[in-house]
Amino acid sequence: IVIDIAAGVEDTLAPAGCQMRMAEGVLYVRSDVSTTLSLLDLDGRVRDTTEMVAGEEYRIEELTSGSYLLRLGSQTYKVVIP
């Protein structure tokens, strides 16, 4: 599943129970369930990881344009940052 932040999450196949938005170079992620969030570059290097608490919003800063892998629990999604 590819999530194109520029198109708006409502227009993509976003993971159920997860909301994402991009503002001023920061990716915001919120999940309806507690889970592990990991952001990896396409070379497999971990850029960020955290334990998400249901309903809380997490910020991932200093992202350059490009594609990343966003792992929420056992599911992995490709995220495109404009």
Beta bridge partners of 39: 48, 70
Rounded CA-CA distance 30/58 in Å is 6
The pLDDT, as a whole number, for residue 18 is 82
pLDDT of residue 82: 77
Dihedral angle, C-alpha 25, 55, 71, 4, nearest 10 °: -50
pTM score over 0.85: no
* Predicted confidence pLDDT, tens digits, the chain (82 residues): 455 555 444 434 456 678 888 887 788 888 888 999 999 999 989 999 999 999 999 999 888 888 899 898 888 888 888 7
